[in-house]
Amino acid sequence: MTKQSTSHLFMIEPESFYVNEQTAFTNHYQKEATDETPQVIAEKALNEFHNLKNKIEDSGITVTSLRGSKDCPDHIFPNWFITFEDKTMQIFSMMAPNRRKEKKLSMIEFLTNTYELTNDMSHLEEKEIFLESTSSMVFDRVNRIVYAGISPRTNAVQLIIWCRHNNYELVLFETESHTGSPIYHTDVLMYVGTEIIGICFDVITEEHRDYVKEKVSKYHDVVELSPEQIEKFCGNAIEAKNKNDELFLILSTTAYKALNEEQIEKLLKSYSDIIHSDIPTIEKYGGGSARCMLTELF
């Protein structure tokens, strides 16, 4: 039986962390460095990484982590590969040149000890065709649906090709962020759990909104998020389970504090608990949150 979530998560411990100028054009959630030195920013990010990792492990969820590289400011966000229950994996194309470097041979070799590499789409980078794995595509694995918002990092044609080849239904839509530009990654505005989908409909363009509402409501209860909550990373969450098969939702403390009581009450009907940790430095300078830091190992 196909499972929506896993009990094993993958993280990359940052060797360096700073504002990635190569992603700033498309990521409207990352901020410029202010009066903090690069060393201070990196130290804070490392502490935040360990605090989140420890909280996840304290709940009985397994975490495998590898050490990142100094030449990869966004190594902390391991969203360049996907694993599947049949013990296969795929590698995806990344827009920023310094993000392409994140696909270290040593990491790929580590992963291929467990997973068969069936598709490496890195060659698409030369054609300016980008599809950034679990950030571009939000998976309903049980019902074989991919939700995806078109953006410079999420190519619509490649999405259609990928879903056709992998036997997934594609729910494709357009979005508009608080800046008026497309939201750079789909996992900023939504997540899919076993029983729950959290999503912000208001950032989906009006012509696609009803279509997406119909699709997400077919198999799941829906927790509606506001555009203001998206800016607080409430959509950047991930479901995982522990060794006792208890389900948890993982997000940042910034996101947790932005949820209202009704939303938390609804979530706790589906989850044993909500795991949250404070990662303000990573959110501020990286423009990503808890889900971006975690990749499922099935």
pLDDT digits (tens, 9 = 90+) for 72-122: 989 999 999 999 999 999 999 999 998 999 999 999 999 999 999 999 999
- With 60 as the cut, is the pLDDT of residue 143 above it? yes
pLDDT digits (tens, 9 = 90+) for 158-178: 999 999 999 999 999 999 998
C-alpha span between 81 and 248 (Å, rounded):
23
Query: Which residue range forms the structural domain that includes residue 143?
Result: 8-296
* 31 confidence band (pLDDT: 50, 70, 90): low
C-alpha span between 171 and 138 (Å, rounded):
10
* pTM, 2 dp: 0.94
Domain membership flag for residue 207: yes
In the chain, the amino acid numbered 181 is S
Domain membership flag for residue 45: yes
Number of compact structural domains in the chain: 1
Domain membership flag for residue 243: yes
Which of 27-31, 155-159, 208-212, 218-222 is predicted with the least confidence, judged by mean pLDDT? 27-31
Please say whether the beta carbons of 294 and 10 come within 8 A. yes
| pLDDT given for residue 98 in this prediction | 86
CATH of the domain at 211: 3.75.10.10
In the chain, the amino acid numbered 262 is E
Domain membership flag for residue 1: no
Q: Cβ atoms within 10 A of the Cβ of 20, count?
A: 19
| pLDDT given for residue 81 in this prediction | 98
| pLDDT given for residue 38 in this prediction | 80
Q: What mean pLDDT do residues 199-203 have?
A: 98
**How high is the mean pLDDT of the chain?**
94
pLDDT digits (tens, 9 = 90+) for 210-224: 999 999 999 999 999
More confident residue, 35 or 62: 62
Q: What mean pLDDT do residues 56-69 have?
A: 98
Quick one: residue 9, left, alpha or beta (phi over 0 = left, psi -120 to 50 = alpha)? beta
pLDDT digits (tens, 9 = 90+) for 98-107: 899 999 999 9
Domain membership flag for residue 226: yes
